[in-house]
Amino acid sequence: MRKIIVSAVISLSLSTSYVHAASPWTGGDDQPTNPLACDATPAQVEAKPYDGGAPTNAPDRKGKPLKVVDVPKLVGIGYFTATSKGIADAAKEMGNMEAKTDGPSKASIDDQITLIDNYITSGVDGILFAANDPVAIAPVLKKALAAGINVVGYDANSTPDARQWFVNQAQFNGIAKSIIDNLAAEVGEDGSFAIVTSTFTTPNQARWIAEMAAYQEQCHPKMKWLETVEAQEDNILSFNQANTLINKYGSELKGIVGMTSVATPAAADAVTQAGKCGSVAVVGLATPNAMKPYVGAGCVKSVVLWNPVDLGYAAAYVLRAVADGQLAPGGTSVKAGKLGELKVINGSEILLGQPFVFNKDNINNFDF
């Protein structure tokens, strides 16, 4: 079925500006893109009406203790350990929120749905989530809203009407620009590259990739996009996929982009073991602790991310503000503790901030 879908996508005459008829499928979604200017001119954020959902007959929770469950894509990896810490830190700081993290052991949307459904049944006041699939997760989140539960997403969105608010770590086109600009600086304007992602249905990664393709076509048009492969947020599979790309394309491959905090260090490890440091660049999204050995050895020059601890922290504060009635449809900002005032964008999203580039000059200043 995957082969049929991919073949269909490639063969169709697509209207989006970044896909040519003969181009390989990038792994991006089919939503409209909005690439940033090549000269780094700031984007104008347009005001949009609220498009999130609403809980049915939610009780008055203002100032009252909240029982909250956090259901990330999966547990046991550094990234979501960091978001969980941020949620716990915020809960402790607020003093009126009891928060626990309970996610699947692998990036399984079915397991994630089951967990959320169980917590709806057992009873919680709020659900925080990072979706493995934006559409598949929507029915169970709508069930939570129908039960009067406050629902807030972070990291990876659902369809907007299945939750109230989504905390966006950075705007998708900003992440795209940062990754492609850093990649171009390393592989050159005519360099060829490939991508290791989680799955083609993971919402944030598909959106980043779509925006990356649009920005690359507009601002670095001579670069060649070779292939995008899935690795399920699995360390061994990510390593094997990167190694396969190295062997498959040989000297043509100038760069590998990792779209997950698992894929990027695994790709760096594959490049290191293949003796390709200096000839195959690795750029991508990852936590600094996982990348310090490769940055220190000079095999990786730049890592793009945000602070996932802050992301979890912000999500917890947004949920508290929603429960207290301090953030309602039409709101333009929300107070998020030590992070200050965060802006509302795209109708029902809260923007954490701009992406950050870790390199040898600053990476040792961070510990997560």
Each residue's pLDDT tens digit, 222-273: 999 999 999 998 999 999 999 999 999 999 999 999 999 999 999 999 999 9
Q: Which residues contact 295 (CB under 8 A, 6 or more apart)?
A: 301, 303, 358, 359, 360, 363
- Describe the strand order of the beta sheet including 253-258 as a list of residue ranges: 224-230, 192-197, 253-258, 281-285, 302-305, 356-358
Q: Report the sign of the C-alpha dihedral through residues 123, 127, 131, 137, in that order.
A: positive
**pLDDT tens-place string over residues 70-103:** 999 999 999 999 999 999 999 999 999 999 999 9
pLDDT, position 326? 97
Over range 337-358, report the average pLDDT: 94
* Rounded-to-integer distance, Cα 255 and Cα 226, Å: 10
For residue 356, the SS3 value is strand
**pLDDT tens-place string over residues 298-322:** 999 999 999 999 999 999 999 999 9
pLDDT, position 44? 66
Structure token digits, residue 157: 């969105």
pLDDT, position 43? 65
**pLDDT tens-place string over residues 24-47:** 668 899 899 999 999 978 666 666
For 5, counting Cβ atoms within 10 Å of its Cβ (0-12 exposed, 13-18 middle, 19+ buried), the class is exposed
**pLDDT tens-place string over residues 124-170:** 999 999 999 999 999 999 999 999 999 999 999 999 999 999 999 99
pLDDT-based confidence at residue 18 (cuts at 50, 70, 90): very low
Side chain identity, residue 36: L
* Rounded-to-integer distance, Cα 274 and Cα 219, Å: 31
The dotted CATH code for 171-305 is 3.40.50.2300
* Rounded-to-integer distance, Cα 103 and Cα 203, Å: 17
| Residue ranges matching CATH 3.40.50.2300 in the chain | 66-170+307-353, 171-305
The third-level CATH classification (topology) of the domain covering 66-170+307-353 is Rossmann fold (3.40.50)
Over range 98-116, report the average pLDDT: 97
> Using an 8 Å Cβ cutoff, are 205 and 198 in contact?
yes
Greater confidence, 358 or 6? 358
Q: For residue 333, give the nearest of 320, 357, 351 by alpha carbon.
A: 351
pLDDT, position 12? 28
